[in-house]
Structure formats: structure tokens, C-alpha cells
Amino acid sequence: MSIFDRVLITGGAGMLATALRRTLEKRGVKTHVLDRAGCDVTDERAVDDVFELRRPTLVLNCAAYTKVDLAEQEMEVANRINGTGAENLARGCAASGTKLVHFSTDYVFDGTLRRPLRPDDPVGPQSAYGKSKLLGERAIQRVTGLDFLILRTAWLYGSNGPNFVKTMINVAKAGKPLRVINDQFGTPTYTLDLAAATLELLDRDADGIWHLTNGGETNWYDFARAIFQEWRLAPDLQPTTSEAWKKQRPDSATRPAYSVLDVTPFEKAVDHPMRGWRDALAAFKAEVDRSGTF
């Protein structure tokens, strides 16, 4: 039996779930993609019912609360989805001998180390969102007998969901001025590339915690500049600092100043490392041009 015999994807309405489904279907792998109505991961009984009905051999957990700023006011909701939800799926997987892939975030780090972050580096999330994602990681690791893969990624964008690229394009086309932070560093990651990398690890029966992003690093301001170069837009774009942004938006979440993830273990383990972030952005633009929509 292959783990790809019966694949279940939670959080089916989002960007990453869409990318994973598309990538698996290109391999000829059929998937059951469930949105919140199909599987509310915070409801233990609902999760048990899904396992009984679908009997999955592999669960790809894309169900997540991702509204980073709003999580500061909705911490309990974020904790239920990102923490309790992950634990419910982990228990279901352990009970049925199912592999679990769970996606986490660079925001579990505090951003004080100024080098690419390894999976075993100390964590210290500064935001409610980051804390909720760390809850999920730790809940998964506590479940006895579970075969799991925790994949930390960063700055996701792609089709079929809100993200920084779409926001920048929409604001620029509306003719509004843009002030974008230039002192937070990370790596933009294209969902289709992340999906392909996930399957690379599954093909090698990897487990534990891995870091997966496109290559290189940038800051939000330079990322925005690259977006406008690809889309041939010339908005009123100016840099700003995290401190100035926080003064204007005191309720916004604190994000790590440096959260570039070390992907060296992945690059050593696979035949096809993820391309650089700038090339990935160009590939996304080409995808948008082909489809005619975001």
C-alpha cells in the first residue's frame, strides 16, 4: 500500500490546498479535499467521522487560521484552529496509522538570530498567530506513535487565496500610495513550489521538522518592488520601518525582524531543490497570465 492511496487535504478552500491538489492530480493521485464545512478540525467528533468514512493513508493539513494581525484580537480562535485542530488530526492519524503532514510558519521564531534558521533553533513567537502555530507543532509532537512531517514555510503566495502579491497589485491598480516595511527579512514562497517540495520529501519517507521555502532572502519592500517589476506597474511606493508601522497600527502583530529559514537539509536530501524566490515570482506571473485570474 502506498501513502498516496487515499489522500485527504484539509483546509481545502485555500491557496496551499489548491496547489497540493493540482500537484497530486498531475501525478494521477486522487484526493479528497475538504473545506471547513466538510471537516471542522476543531471538532474532535467531526474529525473522527472523517477518518472513519475516508480511511486516509495520508493527511495534508492545510486548515489554518492565517490572519496574522486579527489573531491579536482572536487568540482563542487562532489557538483552536492552529492548535486544537492540529492535535485532533494528529490523534486521528496516530489511531489509524496515517501519515500526517502539517504546515507551520517562520513566525514561530523571534527574529533575533541574523542567520538562516535551522529546525532545531530555539523558538520564541512574538505574535498570537506564531504562538498558535507553535501550539500545533507541540501538540503533534506529543502524540504517541504518530508518523508526522512538520513543514515550516514563509511568506506564502499563489492562486486561490489572499496574499501579499495580490494585495500589492490591487492597491497599486487602485492608485493608492504604498508604504512597505524594509527591515523585516524572509523568503517569499510560491505555493506550487512548496507543494512539489512536499511531495519530494514524502517520496523519501521523511519525518520530523523541515524548513521549506524558495531560495534566497529579501524584505517586504524589495519584494513589493519585484512584484511591480513583474506586473509592469509604477505605484507610489516608499519604504518604512517596523517601528513606524507599529506606531500607526498599534494593534498589529509583531513580526520577526529576520526569519529566513535554513533549507540546506532539504537541498541535500532531494534531486530538485526549490528555485530562488525571484524566479518563483516570475513563474507565478506566468501562471496568472495563462489563467487570466488570480
Which residues are catalytic, by number?
129
Non-local CB neighbours of 252 within 8 Å, separated by 6+ positions: 69, 72, 245, 246
How far apart (Å, rounded) are the C-alpha atoms in residues 11 and 40? 9
Distances (CA, A) of 49 to 38, 63, 88, 90: 10, 17, 12, 14
Give the side-chain half-sphere CA count within 13 A for 204. 18
> 184 has which bridge partners?
none
Which bin fits 29, alpha (ψ -120 to 50), beta or left (φ > 0)? beta
CB-based contact 250:191 (threshold 8 Å): no
How far apart (Å, rounded) are the C-alpha atoms in residues 11 and 65? 10
Distances (CA, A) of 176 to 25, 169, 182, 235: 39, 11, 19, 7
CB atoms near residue 252 (< 10 Å): 15
Closest CA to 139 of 83, 70, 192: 83
